[in-house]
Chain A
Amino acid sequence: MKQILMEDYNVIVIGAGHAGCEAGLAAARMGEKTLMLSINLEAVAMMACNPSIGGTGKGHLVREIDALGGEMGINIDKTFIQSKMLNTAKGPAVHSLRAQADKVRYHEEMKKTIEKEKNLDLKQGEVIDLIVEEGQVRGVLLNTGAAYRAKAVIIATGTFLRGKIFIGEWSFFSGPNGLSASIELADNLKKHGIKLRRFKTGTPARILGSSLDYSKMKEQAGDEKIVPFSFMNDELECEQVSCWLTYTNNKTHQIIRDNFHRSALFGGQIEGIGPRYCPSIEDKVNRFSEKERHQTFIEPEGRSTDEMYIQGMSSSLPEDVQEAFYKTIPGLENAKISRPAYAIEYDCIDPFDLKINLESRQIKNLFCAGQFNGSSGYEEAAAQGLLAGINACLSINGKNPFVLDRSEAYIGVLIDDLVTKGTNEPYRIMTSRAEYRLVLRQDNADLRLTKRGHSLGLVNMERFAKFSTKTEQVEKEMKRLAETIVFPNQALRFMEKNVSTPLQNKISLADLLKRPEITYDKLADIDKDQPKISSHAKTQIEVQIKYEGYINKQIKQIERFKKLEGKIISQELDYSKIEGLRIEASQKLNQFKPLSLGQASRISGVSPADINVLLIYMERERRRGK
């Protein structure tokens, strides 16, 4: 077939979902001429499943993406219709922001941002093959015969790659939401030696809000005080819409049980592995048969549509069964389904085949992100997209990879888990996956990462200036609070007003702030010199002072962790030549080629003694080299 050679690019991104958007924007912002290709431009930043961004762990990821100069936080701040801080009864480390999005607007705003971005072209087109020369990717080929050459390619195909939808006994090749699947690319990736496997996920039905009886449900309103996702926004106004809570019952379960045999999941048609944290309703009824009810949240899909998302109720049962069981739920008796629930199966890689910079082990300058890497979730995808975009740019410029470690960011935990530990199901981030949770808070993502983003060229002047002001405010104010002393008689009425035990001795404002019932704003009553500082700065001061002891304890643990993480291992090292390593260890190490001694220590099958042997070997080589 004749190829038409088109314009050259530096970076090409296949897919414009949440991973693709961050990858494309990051590459363009780092100065590379970038092309984003999507099967359909209606799929740009499409929220194919739940209409929300954030949540536990996920909210942390969004804040980190934002701190590095990514787009997700800014885009959700433009388009949210409800905002909620979860876990506020718990410590600041697990406070998690979640916003309901207007799906259409989320897509539109992201598309606009991409269209406006200098260096970035967005085109509709289906990639059917990679151009690979001498083990290195050189571009992509479209089904129109168009060939684009590039120095690096990023695959972010989501659920499109050989996507197959299952609804009861019926199945057909399709991408999400009725968009077409990408089949030829999957075949050709295999030809290039990329091993593919099947994962599965699913989505519930969408139901018209006008057909629902909300009086039978419990209203779930947003927070009064809106906390923005992006560091760039101090305050946001929004007329929020509510979500609604209702429950399944025995009738629902009976219908589902009676039709187990018609479910694609139990019928054996689906070979892909689905995530345990996102089971379909038939899976829940099957596995937790003793549970009398399952909760479901009814969530609006946007302001311009009447469609509602039925959270917790994904299914691969046939449409007639869906009609029947949804209607057994209080408030859904007259439900009009606009889109049926479905399960979708897709091709993805085993992330063991990736290096820690998200580059393929098989093909140089081929980077991968999102569901293609075996993860799930918009936020997980976006985080990887951002890092893949950054690392593609660094690689083609001969620079060292940008790697965040497990003590620096949830993004680091996510990627390290994927490429070092692998995953047997679509991977979801959780705060319990992070060892250094007290330090990886959503409130300090900017302090952890904005400088890094700045040196990569991703953080614009405006953000960096704002960041510098905040850090300065925090430092100065922390010092002042520690040095300002209050005497017991000065604070008598203040303590009474705040139901706090009267002071016995003089105390610094910082120590006073350590009391759970005292906040920074309250201190203003007895602190005439309190300066006007941003809400971001206030939060930071409060958290750092109140939890100082715990945070310091964790910082010490991190110092120990960093020692091994900082010992970089050459990628050329042949482990089979190192005497003293056990055979199993040297095989695993040769397969992985870890970047650091720390990464090596997390590979299963590598023991502490092997790490010691490696350490000695490295030191010996270093001295020989001298």
Chain B
Amino acid sequence: MENTIAAIATAYGEGGIGIVKISGGKAKEILDQIFVGINDKPLRNRYLTFGHITDSDTGKIIDEALVSYMKGPKTYTTEDVVEINCHGSIISLRKTLELVLRKGAILAEPGEFTKRAFLNGRLDLVQAEAVIDLIRAKSDKSFEISINQLEGFLSKKVLDIRKMLLELLIKLAVNIDYPDEDIEELSYREVKKSLLQISDMIEILVSTAETGRLIQEGLAVSIIGKPNVGKSSLMNALLRESRAIVTEIPGTTRDTIEEFLSIKGIAIKLTDTAGIRNTEDTIEKIGIEKSKESFNKADLIIFVLDGSNELSKEDREIIEIIGKRKSLVLINKGDLEQKIDTKQIKKLIPEAKVIFTIATEGAGINAVEKEIEELVYGGKVRQGESMLVSNVRQKNLLEKAGLAIKEAIEQTEASMAMDFLEIDVKAAWELLGEIIGETFSENIIDEVFARFCLGK
């Protein structure tokens, strides 16, 4: 039987609701475990039912939802399909998806619903061509993203844990495959000790994912502009609290500052960049590099100009960098005498909406928020959905690895033979490998020979 797959089916930001879609033999079984209908109404094939998505392990309600259950084969994939309509908040969508995965579904690969529809005879040959493009495009994109994340915090931690797992696997492999050799026998105490340590490390990573340090989701908005035009004041105004340092000396914000906030229900990751200008200061240079990086990853750019000065050479350079990227232009310092030529700006960057603000007083901030809202709900700006997918995927893999280690610990407690627990330890090692794109098990064998003196 095919696995049951699940994914968030709607692009974020396009409407007030989001859909988690499940397809496969276990779709209904999973729904039954997580959905409580209002007044205990039973689910009916092809009817919408209102109720709550509930985490049965904690008893917590995750979201109100309208769910539909469509029995195969007359569905898109020809399999049993469940659609859960949640509120559009990215948090509730993610939580719902995670719950579905925990109950036995597997995260759908890019284009997998369509692939199944095709393989099960639902789509015609012309459509099939599109499926190939879809798989190609989406997997390349998620590949790119996982590569990006390789540099980060997550991959370092995962590498650390895998190193410990590898140590253990090598010892287990030698004990199993070379019973005659002059090698210290592995004790349950020793194995359990390192398993507990590994389990803790995984648990910490999972909870980090929960608090959002790992899963940095939300619309990526980057504030850009040359030094001292009021970027930090704008950030503060949006946050309505003073966190970024604001001074009169250009170049104070030397590092990028990230904040998470919610505007009209839209999760936003706001990055205040160091002012971009030519500089000899090394620390500041680093800041500028980081600004450019965050700028490159942004879904939306807020370009801040100082209205009390004329458009400078540096401003024009920034406009050039922005090019056709989705952006808002803020003309700040409206309380001072205006020298900037608004018409010229509109000519240079015609697609951007221009808004006047006095960031230090919070004036014009409402207009900024309204504009962001319109852009998002109008579907003009979209968060990279593959980023979200890869995050859910990573957390899912972490959780599975944690479970495998827990099973291995239980086996040490039951004094099960070492070769049984080796299976779970190896599974955890492979799951973590999937996060960073390494699963080749040959290196265990390589290490065995490098580490131990074996031979006939």
- A-side residues, CB < 8 A to B, are 49-50, 56-57, 86-87, 89-91, 93-94, 96, 247, 276-279, 284, 287-288, 291, 293-295, 297, 311-312, 314, 421, 430-433, 437-438, 550, 559-560, 579-580, 607-609, 612-613, 615-617, 619-620, 623-624
Q: Other CB < 8 Å A-B pairs besides A87-B176, A612-B111, A616-B119, 16 of them?
A: A49-B456, A277-B449, A278-B455, A278-B456, A291-B453, A295-B182, A314-B456, A430-B173, A438-B420, A559-B1, A580-B136, A609-B110, A609-B140, A616-B115, A616-B131, A616-B132
Task: Please classify how large the interface on chain B is, using the bins under 10, 10 to 19, 20 to 34, 35 or more.
Answer: 35 or more
B17 to chain A, nearest CB (A): 30
- 10 examples of A-B residue contacts, CB within 8 angstroms: A56-B178, A91-B419, A94-B176, A278-B456, A284-B455, A311-B456, A314-B455, A431-B419, A432-B448, A608-B139
A57 — which chain B residues lie within 8 A by C-beta?
Answer: 177
A607 — which chain B residues lie within 8 A by C-beta?
Answer: 139
A431 to chain B, nearest CB (A): 6
Residue ID in chain A nearest B121 by CB atoms: A623
> B453, A287: Cβ atoms under 8 Å?
yes
Q: Which residue from B119, B417, B423 sits with its C-beta under 8 Å from A619? A: B119
A227 to B425, CA, bound (A): 31
Interface string of B398-437 (1 = CB under 8 A from A): 0000000000000000001111101100000000000000
> B109, A90: Cβ atoms under 8 Å?
no
Judged by a CB distance under 8 angstroms, whether B444 is at the interface is: yes
B444 — which chain A residues lie within 8 A by C-beta?
Answer: 432
A56 to B448, CA, bound (A): 15
Residue ID in chain B nearest A579 by CB atoms: B132
A361 to chain B, nearest CB (A): 23
A619 to B115, CA, bound (A): 11
Judged by a CB distance under 8 angstroms, whether B454 is at the interface is: yes
Judged by a CB distance under 8 angstroms, whether B249 is at the interface is: no
Judged by a CB distance under 8 angstroms, whether B56 is at the interface is: no
A50 to B140, CA, bound (A): 51
A69 to chain B, nearest CB (A): 28
The 10 closest A-B pairs by CB, nearest first: A91-B417, A609-B139, A276-B449, A580-B132, A90-B417, A288-B453, A295-B182, A91-B419, A432-B173, A94-B419
B418 — which chain A residues lie within 8 A by C-beta?
Answer: 90-91
Judged by a CB distance under 8 angstroms, whether B266 is at the interface is: no
A285 to chain B, nearest CB (A): 9
A91 to B173, CA, bound (A): 13
Judged by a CB distance under 8 angstroms, whether B179 is at the interface is: yes
B218-263 interface (Cβ within 8 A of A): none
> A430, B453: Cβ atoms under 8 Å?
no
**Most chain B CB within a 10 A radius of its CB, from A50, A560, A579, A620:** A620
Residue ID in chain A nearest B442 by CB atoms: A421
A312/B109 contact (C-beta < 8 A), A90-B417, A90-B419, A616-B115 known: no
A506 to B36, CA, bound (A): 38
A612 to B131, CA, bound (A): 10
Judged by a CB distance under 8 angstroms, whether B345 is at the interface is: no
A50/B456 contact (C-beta < 8 A), A57-B177, A438-B423 known: yes
Q: Which residue from A91, A278, A311, A615 sits with its C-beta under 8 Å from B420? A: A91
> A-B pairs with CB below 8 Å: how many?
120
B421 to chain A, nearest CB (A): 10
- B-side residues, CB < 8 A to A, are 1, 3, 109-111, 115, 118-119, 125, 128-129, 131-133, 135-136, 139-140, 143, 173, 176-182, 416-420, 422-423, 441-442, 444-445, 448-450, 453-456
> A560, B453: Cβ atoms under 8 Å?
no
Q: Which residue from B118, B417, B455, B456 sits with its C-beta under 8 Å from A89? A: B417
> A612, B453: Cβ atoms under 8 Å?
no
**Most chain A CB within a 10 A radius of its CB, from B128, B179, B442:** B179
A557 to chain B, nearest CB (A): 10
A560/B3 contact (C-beta < 8 A), A90-B176, A295-B181, A620-B128 known: yes
A276 to B450, CA, bound (A): 8
A312 to B111, CA, bound (A): 55
B136 — which chain A residues lie within 8 A by C-beta?
Answer: 580, 609, 613
A107 to chain B, nearest CB (A): 20
> B119, A312: Cβ atoms under 8 Å?
no
**Most chain B CB within a 10 A radius of its CB, from A277, A295, A431, A579:** A277
A428 to chain B, nearest CB (A): 9
A117 to chain B, nearest CB (A): 31
A277 — which chain B residues lie within 8 A by C-beta?
Answer: 449, 454-456
> B456, A312: Cβ atoms under 8 Å?
yes
> A432, B132: Cβ atoms under 8 Å?
no
Residue ID in chain B nearest A436 by CB atoms: B423
> A284, B445: Cβ atoms under 8 Å?
no
> B118, A87: Cβ atoms under 8 Å?
no
A612 to B119, CA, bound (A): 11
A517 to chain B, nearest CB (A): 12
A484 to B455, CA, bound (A): 49
A624 to B181, CA, bound (A): 59
A619/B118 contact (C-beta < 8 A), A94-B419, A437-B423 known: yes
B20 to chain A, nearest CB (A): 22
A438 to B423, CA, bound (A): 9
Residue ID in chain B nearest A91 by CB atoms: B417
B400 to chain A, nearest CB (A): 14
B173 — which chain A residues lie within 8 A by C-beta?
Answer: 430, 432
> B109, A608: Cβ atoms under 8 Å?
yes
A613 to B180, CA, bound (A): 47
B169 to chain A, nearest CB (A): 8
Q: Which residue from B110, B445, B455 sits with its C-beta under 8 Å from A312? A: B455
Q: Which residue from A288, A430, A619 sits with its C-beta under 8 Å from B445? A: A430
> B125, A432: Cβ atoms under 8 Å?
no
A446 to chain B, nearest CB (A): 22
A559 — which chain B residues lie within 8 A by C-beta?
Answer: 1
> B419, A93: Cβ atoms under 8 Å?
yes
